[in-house]
Amino acid sequence: MGVYQSLDAFSKEVGRTAREYGVDDRLRELVQLRCSQINGCAYCLRVHVERAQKAGVTMDELGQLSSWRESGVFAERERAALELAEAHTLIHEGGIPDDVYDRVGAVLTEQEYVAVSWIAISINAFNRLTIAGRYPVPPLASA
């Protein structure tokens, strides 16, 4: 379907732009996982857990991702990106609050802020597609 192919192409362009703007695969996967957790998208969680592990995210970090605010395993830059990802995912609750914008903007460069925003927008679109379409959770690639 052309629309899905367009969304896939958009996602690839977001990934390319993210790399160009200084966001590595590890940070990109953490953002995609956190958005998918909030949205309850099991399909995307399966896909991105495997990708996150390949990008160097440990099982310990994966286990603490949903409680990143209380966890000490994430770097300041990762914490800022996760906060921005949550704000985008929950944007219907009042937009991006000024304090989030200021806090995240004090840590991420303008390009990183833009890249993380596009990553969140992209994965949120895929989350909605796969949840609404009732995509079956794929088996583990290593299985």
pLDDT tens for each residue of 90-119: 999 999 999 999 999 999 999 999 999 999
The answer to whether position 137 is within a domain reads: no
Q: 71 burial class (0-12, 13-18, 19+ CB within 10 angstroms)?
A: middle
Give the number of domains in the chain. 1
The answer to whether position 42 is within a domain reads: yes
The answer to whether position 140 is within a domain reads: no
Banded model confidence at residue 142, pLDDT cuts 50, 70, 90: low
pLDDT, tens digit, 9 for 90 and up, residues 21-49: 999 999 999 999 999 999 999 999 999 99
Please report, for the domain that includes residue 124, its CATH number: 1.20.1290.10
The answer to whether position 31 is within a domain reads: yes
Percent of the chain with pLDDT over 90: 95
The answer to whether position 107 is within a domain reads: yes
The Cβ of residue 143 has, within 10 Å, a number of other Cβ atoms equal to 5
The whole-number pLDDT of residue 140 equals 80
State the chain's maximal CA–CA distance in angstroms: 45
The whole-number pLDDT of residue 106 equals 98
The answer to whether position 87 is within a domain reads: yes
The whole-number pLDDT of residue 141 equals 74
The answer to whether position 19 is within a domain reads: yes
In this prediction, residues 52-74 reach a mean pLDDT of 97
The whole-number pLDDT of residue 107 equals 98
The answer to whether position 141 is within a domain reads: no
Banded model confidence at residue 84, pLDDT cuts 50, 70, 90: very high
Range of the domain at 98: 2-132
